[in-house]
Chains A and B, each alone.
Chain A
């Protein structure tokens, strides 16, 4: 046996190392799978409640929701359990009142704010063609400055906001304008000192609305009653 291949007496054999690592991987695998399966139903229920609460907040008349995809080819399809958003599709929530009539549409939008992406959920009234309000899903905006978007009375007075689908886009682009210069019903008057976050709200609504609302317009009849 040459020097190069000689195994030192205190060296752990490779089989022992592989055996240990294999055993530990098996134990850890069991623990992880048990934890995943044990918490799965509670996690799914929590997610469902979180979505419902968020939609009920922006569509107060709603008592139940149905999740849909507005597909890239213009068709609508109900969301299956745990289904991912298909390429080019927009997910939205149709809120229905106690009688099963459509109370409003809610959809998520996101745009870059001051610290990170501001994710919001906004509601759209298909009868009046208006965005009626919004709530924040996730935001890391500066406390006391950017987070005023949910409490500032003047900012909230921007809603309802005109959002009328026309052909393949909106009749007027929703945009945030400098504080005090709002002249049209589709413009958002920014909060003085929190312009970047205000702009993020406008862009988040506009980006989603430009894609979603024109696709919804031809299907409003079928959405009117709860399926």
Chain B
């Protein structure tokens, strides 16, 4: 075992070297996404269609059952679903991010974090194809002001920052423990209903603590609230920033400690 100082230095060095070598992850990440649709008729627009169906379905069904049948609710759902799908798919697919690239990892001597960055590029590319649905729904409800958009983009940057360490941690765990992928898929399915993606936290009344105790609520809020012209909930940014600060330090340490063993776990 390495000492904490050495582990941090090794982890940080691998991560910094990876960021610098963009050719190892930018274009390959894009191709990881686009090649999955190479033989299809709609190409990546399958993602747009799927998202439109999700937003439309949830919007129509729950706008009536929750008694909020307006375009504002549809905007609430669409931002929620787009952000949730990014976070959820990143978390579940990260468990296989190293395993799916085993032939490359075992034949090249590249910093292993480049595969994490590559996976994030592919996940972001996928989310990009969900944006047209968001734009359409926002155009139907209330188009946000430039300031609101900027604040929402800032929230998106917070989520991106989280992706950088969450994907690495889950990737390592998923490579070492084959159960991680299945456990995460199950957890994310449950959390979809336990997170205010399509329902409002204040609708829980006295039990809104359930939503507040869930960090995903705050990650959703920093992106969604500004776009809808609502104030970001108290403490949401604190949770996002504190989670990232702790997560980054922890990930660099764990990464420095275990990234050498990665090749033996494949």
Chain A complexes with chain B: no
Q: Which residues of A are in contact with B by a Cβ distance under 8 Å?
A: none
Taking Cβ atoms with an 8 Å cutoff, the residues of B that contact A are none
